[in-house]
Amino acid sequence: MRYRQVDFNENISNLEAIKSIKREEIPVIIFGAGIVAEVLFHACRSAGIMVECFCDNNFHKTLSPKCNIEVVHTSNLKKKYKDANIIISAADMKDVVEQLRLLGYSKWHAGNLLLRDFDVSRYQFSAPEEFVGFAIGACILCHDSYLNPDKLFLRSVDIIITERCSLKCRDCSNLMQYYEKPKDCDIEEIIQSIDVLCAYVDEVHEFRVIGGEPFMNKEINLIIKRLIDESKIKKIAIYTNGTIIPKESQVEFLKNSKVILFITDYGRLSRKRDALIQMLQRHKINFYLQKGQGWTDCSDIKKHNRNAEEQGEIFNSCCAKNTVTLSNGELHRCPFSANAARLSAVPDVEDDYINISEETHKATDNHEMKKKIRAFLLEKKFLETCDYCNGRTFGAPEIPAAVQTDKPLEYVRYSTIKQMS
């Protein structure tokens, strides 16, 4: 079966895309069951396209209907529908396209054209309007990136600005529970890393400022200002746990339209949540409150001695493998890799990250580095670091969120001497 994208490319119009879907009298399925899928459902209906169902890799999303229609787990899709027109709402196009190929579906469509000019203000969604627009923008950018391989677009980049946290969560997927003497990251190195990365990429939809708890870094305002000033960065998301209220000196930067705060609500542990929300509302700062849930057992650091095939399976099924993370002048595929490296909890394997220090930037041709980053993000089969991770799959059993520990967890430290994979 020849594998193709049906009609959707940068030269086709929205109208032509709709006609292409309508021509074939086969079921229309939306891949993904998040907020973008919800928007895409209404975009389809307004265009006269009837959606048969949603499909998703996350088992938990299949437990209840979406927009009053069924959500089918992807593994069961072929049993129900031998052929279908599948419209992709998920941002990670490459993974979805490969999964559809393996399932035997040849007719897929990127959702970006239907989303691009759709008026969301006419509809009620299950999330605030600011977040809906934020999610749609990320999806469109990722689809554009996949369909325009000569450009280097990044959906999101996590930037670690501190190892310190106001909570002591035993199962933190960012491995904060292992730091014995946590410290703030060097402000000069952080800004230098932003400068270098932005010299290589064409656009980043979202820079995610994380820790630890990012507001524990007293120089966070300098980082936010640098991100605001960078035209290649479209959105800035700050992830906080509701335990710290920003100082007045930081508020002006948070008011910027590029900035949105994501507050993770851990109940009584998020002890200043209500006061923080009141402050944000008073200053008309964009924010989104999300429940602290969906935690899985993925934070143990232990060598598993997997073979290459097993490593590939762990990597392919990982829901965090495209959570690009900037740390210590290095670009990592995920927060586990970045923080395990910071902790020296894994061997230092050069192929597991991209060195984007100022020294490397001066010594490397921009075109070559761009190719190297693209290959690292699109062609990597697995990381050597994967062998130290439990794995982080969609639909993995949930564990209680934010269980506290009274002391740092122990782990094995490795030499910092670089190795080749």
Amino acid 59: pLDDT? 86
The answer to whether residues 241 and 191 touch, using CB atoms and an 8 Å cutoff, is no
What's the one-letter identity of residue 117?
D
Count of positions (residues) in the chain: 421
Amino acid 395: pLDDT? 76
- Percent pLDDT > 90 in the chain is 73
Q: Is the pLDDT reported for residue 208 higher than 50? A: yes
Task: Say whether 152-419 and 4-136 share the same fold.
Answer: no
Q: Could you read off the pLDDT of 13-41 as tens digits, one per residue?
A: 566 777 778 888 899 999 999 999 999 99
3-class state of residue 58 by DSSP:
coil
169 Cα distance to chain centroid: 21
So what's the architecture of 152-419 in CATH?
A: Alpha-Beta Barrel (3.20)
Rounded CA separation 87/148 (Å): 18
Q: Bridge partners of 207?
A: 157, 236
Assign 420 a pLDDT band (cuts: 50, 70, 90).
low
Q: Is the pLDDT reported for residue 10 higher than 50? A: no
The answer to whether residues 304 and 388 touch, using CB atoms and an 8 Å cutoff, is yes
- Choices 3.40.50.20, 3.40.50.10800, 3.30.420.40, 3.90.870.40: CATH for 4-136: 3.40.50.20
- The domains of the chain are located at 4-136, 152-419
- Percent pLDDT > 70 in the chain is 95
User: The dihedral of CA 329, 333, 334, 338: what is its sign?
Assistant: negative
Taking residues 134-145, report their average pLDDT.
88
The answer to whether residues 357 and 197 touch, using CB atoms and an 8 Å cutoff, is no
Q: Is the pLDDT reported for residue 11 higher than 80? A: no
What are the tokens at 300?
């143990």
pTM comes to 0.84
Q: Could you read off the pLDDT of 338-374 as tens digits, one per residue?
A: 999 999 999 999 999 999 988 877 878 888 899 999 9
